[in-house]
């Protein structure tokens, strides 16, 4: 049965590749889509007894993805649309194979339509979706480092100019694992920048000065003289911006002999594990996110705090750059279509409510979203580059190395407006 399913799914993929290459006029786009789907297909091969539960989960994903794709104003082959297409296609293949495994056949002609996000799937029950995480790729290997999120990625040299299809696999690994680690990298600031630029526009930090010769790179330094560390509370990067960072790449140049780890938490799981009642209550809430939140720091500005406690971090004035923004508390990931809790240290209060009214629920959600079972703890080594998706994670840099030095190079890539 597994062999038959595999053969059928391969034939489906070939047909979809031809269709997408013809419609989009680009074999690269077809390759990227099929790569993404193939990764999911490997999971199928490993699960010959694909059951109703998986088909139902994928149908829910397909529903959400197709809804977003259909309501998207973009008609071009933009990245989010591509992501939805990949999901719909994967979902359709899974559904088809599931149907085959139950002795029914489906219409092969429906698959290319599904690939364009036009599939109509019945709205099935709302079950938590801990999406499957890939373990097989063509150009890289991933090894999970925790149950909730995080994977080591092997087979990639970030000093090289990576081909598009390798980058597509890194994207798939990021979307599946949320936080990916590349160990033993030897890269210059320029090479880190080259890699970051492949993901989009660089997001300059409005409050922090970049390196003199590479303003896009923020040098994070903590020495034994510094009492505090940069990023030492749960947060997601630049949440105070109207278009917060999609991803962050942090490269370790010098790390303490022990300590200085960074924790990450999976915000899909944080959302999915809430009760239906809580999900309904928070569905339309918006948060006001503030970049320089003196209220939370005894009235002190960033410049005052950093000057006293993190002397090596260079603060700057944001000028006209917007540093307070309103965002949905529950956001939809533009590439996976999954919902995630979007909360962190920059949240001041709910839009339209006072601080006091907002505080109890914000406190609960912050505590809930960082439950130990949603987290991973990254142990750094010199040469580790960690790339995380800020759209579905929070992170926390642990300040537990008072007598040692830690030096990192950080680049953030601009994201889109959360919805």
Residues that bind ligand SIN (CB under 6 A): 220, 230-231, 237, 248, 250, 262, 395, 397, 408, 410
What six digits make up the tokens of 213?
Answer: 């010769």
Closer residue to ligand SIN, CB minimum distance, 66 or 248: 248
Local structure of 328: helix, strand or coil: strand
Q: What share of the chain is helix, strand, coil (3-state, %, to 5)?
A: 40, 20, 45
Q: 309-342 burial by CB neighbour count: b if 16+ within 10 A, else e?
A: bbeebbbeebeeeebebebbbbbbbbbbbbbbbb
Which DSSP helix (H) or strand (E) runs through 47? none
Give CA–CA dist 257/269, Å, rounded: 32
Give CA–CA dist 20/22, Å, rounded: 5
Closer residue to ligand SIN, CB minimum distance, 8 or 243: 243
> Which residues lie below 8 Å from residue 314, measured CB to CB, with a gap of 6+?
208, 209
Q: In angstroms, what is the minimal distance from the CB of 380 to ligand SIN?
A: 8
CA dihedral 182, 151, 231, 317 (to 10 degrees): 60
Q: In angstroms, what is the minimal distance from the CB of 408 to ligand SIN?
A: 5
Catalytic residue among 235, 346, 349, 406: 235
- Angle between helical axes of 27-46 and 79-101 (0-180°, round to 10): 40
Give CA–CA dist 75/25, Å, rounded: 14
237 tagged catalytic: yes
235 tagged catalytic: yes
CA dihedral 4, 10, 15, 18 (to 10 degrees): -170
Closer residue to ligand SIN, CB minimum distance, 248 or 375: 248
Catalytic residue among 237, 331, 333, 391: 237
Q: In angstroms, what is the minimal distance from the CB of 394 to ligand SIN?
A: 10
Q: In angstroms, what is the minimal distance from the CB of 376 to ligand SIN?
A: 13
Instruction: Identify the DSSP state of 380.
Output: P
Q: In angstroms, what is the minimal distance from the CB of 405 to ligand SIN?
A: 13
Query: In DSSP terms, which residues pair with 54 in a beta bridge?
Result: none
Local structure of 408: helix, strand or coil: strand
Catalytic residue among 133, 395, 406, 409: 395
Give CA–CA dist 169/167, Å, rounded: 5
Angle 371-375-381 from CA coordinates, rounded to 5°: 145
Give CA–CA dist 91/202, Å, rounded: 33
Q: In angstroms, what is the minimal distance from the CB of 3 to ligand SIN?
A: 46
Please name the residue that has the structure tokens 């890539």: 413
Closer residue to ligand SIN, CB minimum distance, 93 or 174: 174
Closer residue to ligand SIN, CB minimum distance, 192 or 248: 248
The residue nearest ligand SIN at its CB is: 231
Closer residue to ligand SIN, CB minimum distance, 69 or 397: 397
Angle 346-348-351 from CA coordinates, rounded to 5°: 120
Closer residue to ligand SIN, CB minimum distance, 238 or 348: 238
416 tagged catalytic: no
Q: In angstroms, what is the minimal distance from the CB of 410 to ligand SIN?
A: 5
What six digits make up the tokens of 308?
Answer: 């006293």
Q: In angstroms, what is the minimal distance from the CB of 303 to ligand SIN?
A: 18
Closer residue to ligand SIN, CB minimum distance, 21 or 253: 253
Catalytic residue among 96, 171, 406, 410: 410
Q: Give catalytic residue positions.
A: 235, 237, 395, 410
């Amino acid at each position: 049965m597994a062999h038959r399913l595999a053969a059928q799914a391969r034939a489906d993929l070939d047909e979809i590749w031809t269709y997408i290459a013809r419609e989009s006029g680009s074999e690269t786009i077809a390759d990227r889509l099929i790569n993404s789907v193939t990764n999911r297909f490997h999971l199928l091969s490993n699960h010959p007894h694909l059951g109703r539960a998986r088909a139902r989960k994928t149908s829910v994903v397909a529903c959400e993805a197709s809804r977003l794709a259909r309501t998207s104003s973009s008609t071009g082959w933009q990245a989010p649309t591509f992501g939805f297409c990949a999901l719909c296609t994967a979902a359709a293949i899974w559904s088809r194979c599931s149907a085959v495994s139950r002795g029914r056949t489906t219409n092969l002609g429906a698959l290319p339509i599904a690939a364009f996000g036009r599939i109509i799937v019945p709205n099935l029950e709302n079950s938590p979706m801990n999406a499957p995480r890939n373990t097989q790729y063509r150009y890289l290997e991933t090894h999970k480092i925790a149950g909730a999120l995080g994977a080591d990625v092997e087979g990639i040299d970030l000093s090289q100019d990576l081909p598009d299809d390798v980058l597509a696999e890194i994207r798939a690994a990021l979307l599946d694992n949320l936080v990916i680690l590349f160990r033993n990298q030897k890269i210059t600031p320029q090479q880190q920048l080259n890699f970051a630029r492949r993901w989009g526009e660089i997001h300059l930090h409005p409050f922090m000065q970049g390196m003199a010769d590479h303003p896009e790179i923020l040098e994070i330094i903590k020495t034994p003289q510094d009492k505090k560390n940069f990023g030492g509370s749960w947060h997601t990067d630049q949440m105070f911006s109207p278009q917060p960072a999609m991803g962050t790449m942090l490269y370790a140049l010098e790390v303490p002999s022990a300590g200085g780890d960074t924790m990450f938490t999976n915000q899909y799981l944080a959302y999915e594990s809430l009760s239906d009642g809580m999900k309904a209550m928070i569905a339309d809430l918006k948060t006001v996110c503030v970049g320089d939140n003196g209220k939370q720091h005894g009235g002190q500005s960033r410049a005052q705090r950093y000057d006293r406690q993190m002397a090596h971090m260079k603060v700057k004035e944001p000028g006209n750059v917007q540093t307070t923004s309103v965002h949905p508390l529950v956001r939809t990931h533009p590439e996976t279509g999954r919902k995630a809790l979007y909360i962190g240290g920059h949240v001041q209060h709910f839009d339209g409510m006072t601080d006091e009214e907002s505080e109890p629920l914000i406190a609960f959600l912050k505590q809930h979203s960082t439950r130990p079972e949603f987290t991973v703890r990254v142990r750094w080594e010199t040469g580790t580059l960690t790339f995380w998706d800020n759209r579905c994670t929070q992170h926390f840099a642990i300040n537990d190395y008072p007598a040692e030095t830690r030096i990192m190079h950080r680049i953030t890539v601009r994201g889109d407006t959360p919805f």
